[in-house]
Amino acid sequence: MMCVSELCANAIAHTASGSGGVFTVEVDCPRDGVARVAVIDDGGASVPAPGSGDLMADSGRGLAMVAACTSRWGFAEAYPGRIVWAEACWPVAVPSPDHLAAITGRMRPVPPPDWRGGPVA
**pLDDT tens readout for residues 73-109:** 999 998 889 999 999 999 887 767 777 677 776 655 5
> What's the CATH code of the domain at 81?
3.30.565.10
Burial status of residue 31 (CB atoms within 10 A of its CB: 0-12, 13-18, 19 or more): exposed
Asked if residue 70 belongs to a domain, the reply is yes
Asked if residue 116 belongs to a domain, the reply is no
Which tens digit of pLDDT belongs to each residue from 3-41? 999 999 999 999 999 999 999 999 999 988 999 999 999
Q: Average pLDDT for residues 65-74, to the nearest whole number?
A: 93
50 pLDDT tier (thresholds 50, 70, 90): confident
Asked if residue 105 belongs to a domain, the reply is no
Query: Which domain does 16 fall in, by range?
Result: 2-89
How many domains, the chain? Answer: 1
Asked if residue 101 belongs to a domain, the reply is no
Better-scored residue on pLDDT, 59 or 111? 59
